[in-house]
Chain A
Amino acid sequence: LCSQAFLQMCNLPVRVVCRANAEYMSPSGKLPFIHVGNQVVSELGPIVQFVKAKGHSLSDGLDEVQKAEMKAYMELVNNMLLTAELYLQWCDDVTVEEITHPRYGSPYPWPLNRILSYQKQWEIRRKMKAIGWAGKSLEQVLEDVDQCCQALSQRLGTQPYFFNKHPTELDALVFGHLFTILTTQLTSDELCEKVKNYSNLIAFCRRIEQQYFEGHDKDSSSSATARSAKRSLLR
């Protein structure tokens, strides 16, 4: 969603397609990736650079110090929000059993679905252990998410975007994560509630959704799955 938001902010036409073997098609094994002509680029960072090389950039108007700040905040989101999302999806036993395993294994027949999702789970848990998150309890993870949201909320303040009038990669990244947290059904609403505590962040997500996603619904030819994925915040 971050990449999709970024591309739409750049006014580039984009079509979202869902595939079961997406992780294998990607050059880095990670999602998402874009397919442009005969080039394939994966992950938000390289996608931003690729788009910049083609002449589109959202952060040209920033000075050096602001660019440094933007990169720092993007790392904060990756460090805290992304890791917390992975933790909740793969290390919290209840969520893993009820939601993650069925969802991750859904395109495959038994027993492949179980094998692949256990493999992924093992891989993620190894990584969590290496960075020290394995020993954290769910409450601690939620505390970290709260701290991260508080920092984002304080940085955003009353501005429409993080760097005042124009959206940048940071806005796309934050939108992608927060929107997903707010609209994904999980076993408990705690994660969602943490984000809801910050009204300026909710307003921010709504603004981006209205500006960049609702206009595109009418004329994009995205598949039915992508359309159902565009759950509205206004519901």
Chain B
Amino acid sequence: EVPILISEDTVISQPAKILNFLRKQKYNADYDLSAKQGADTLAYIALLEEKLLPALLHTFWVEAENYCSVTKPWFASRIPFPLSLYLPGRMSREALNRILLTRGGPPLYSLTEVEAQIYRDAKECLNLLSKRLGTSQFFFGNTPSTLDAFVFGFLAPLYKVCFPRVLLQEHLKQLPNLCRFCDDILSFYFRLGVSGHSPAGQDSVDANLQKLTQLVNKESNLIEKMDDNLRKSPQHPPRKLTTLKLAAGGEESSPPSRLSP
């Protein structure tokens, strides 16, 4: 399953379990939040999953031009042959399936109507996030929390990946506070090309963007199936690409434990 966290000898999968593990290790980004803010976090995460995720899945996996020119070659390059021929196609079909099952159905009868509706919902969701963020640096003041990590995980791939069809991306770029939010987190916590982990600049950009995409897909069933197949394959390298490590060389995944950049 992706993402997974490898800490010494422990392997944990699924974002919820990863966050629980980190909290037990006394890393908690929500320590300073009030009960109401904790409740707000849960509500906004539900909003992201219901309103934004279908359009993101569509942009990455269903929109033909995007999928063929960006997503498929990108994922295929990181998956060992011969799975690279099969898995991306399957992930694409499953994304479409999920969108149709959860958002399709009357009165939306054709795929184009469903697509129009999910993009309308996604734009509304982005507007709501922008209004909620306002002029603050993070969603709950000056220090980041779990909600910031979730929002970043959803927004950053949309913001940074160069797609040919850029409908939702254009809308996001019209919301300057959300763009500033992504840029801030990228520069504070994902410093590129600093450590010895990534030899070439472009490689480290790709690796970071891949991690961000994995954060986006974290709730999707597609990833569970991919893991089953990877486990069956005899090589070791697949383990490395499913590890979520910060470029700074730490062992933590989101949320970051340091309070200041």
A contact residues vs B (CB 8 Å cutoff): 27-30, 64-65, 67-69, 71-73, 75-76, 78-80, 126-127, 129-132, 147-148, 150-152, 154-155, 157
Answer whether A65 and B42 are a contact pair too, CB < 8 Å, given A75-B50, A131-B102, A132-B219: no
- Which of B43, B131, B219 has the most CB atoms of chain A within a 10 A radius of its CB? B43
Q: Are B46 and A76 in contact (CB under 8 A)?
A: yes
Answer whether A152 and B107 are a contact pair too, CB < 8 Å, given A68-B131, A130-B97: no
Please give, as numbers and ranges, the residues of chain A lying within 8 Å of B38 by CB-CB distance.
151, 154
Q: Please give me the residue from chain B that is nearest to A135 by CB atom.
A: B224
Top 9 closest pairs, chain A to chain B, by CB: A151-B39, A76-B46, A72-B43, A68-B128, A79-B46, A154-B35, A72-B47, A76-B43, A154-B39
Q: Are A131 and B98 in contact (CB under 8 A)?
A: yes
**Chain B interfacial residues counted at CB < 8 A:** 29
Q: Are A64 and B131 in contact (CB under 8 A)?
A: yes
Q: Are A71 and B105 in contact (CB under 8 A)?
A: no
Please give, as numbers and ranges, the residues of chain A lying within 8 Å of B98 by CB-CB distance.
130-131
What is the interface of chain B mostly: helix, strand, loop, or mixed? helix
CB 8 Å contact bits of B79-92 with A (1 = contact, 0 = none):
00000000000000
Please give, as numbers and ranges, the residues of chain B lying within 8 Å of A131 by CB-CB distance.
98, 101-102, 221
Whole-angstrom CA separation of A127 from B219 in the bound complex: 15
Would you give 8 A-B contacts (Cβ < 8 Å), ordered by A?
A28-B105, A65-B131, A65-B132, A67-B128, A67-B131, A75-B50, A132-B220, A148-B42
- Which of B35, B46, B98, B224 has the most CB atoms of chain A within a 10 A radius of its CB? B46
Please give, as numbers and ranges, the residues of chain B lying within 8 Å of A126 by CB-CB distance.
101
Q: Are A79 and B49 in contact (CB under 8 A)?
A: yes
Q: Please give me the residue from chain A that is nearest to B94 by CB atom.
A: A130
Please give, as numbers and ranges, the residues of chain B lying within 8 Å of A154 by CB-CB distance.
35-36, 38-39
Q: Are A155 and B219 in contact (CB under 8 A)?
A: no
With A73-B43, A76-B47 given, can you name 18 additional A-B contacts, CB distance below 8 Å? Answer: A28-B107, A29-B105, A29-B106, A65-B134, A67-B131, A68-B128, A69-B132, A72-B43, A75-B50, A79-B49, A126-B101, A127-B102, A130-B101, A131-B98, A131-B102, A132-B224, A151-B42, A154-B39
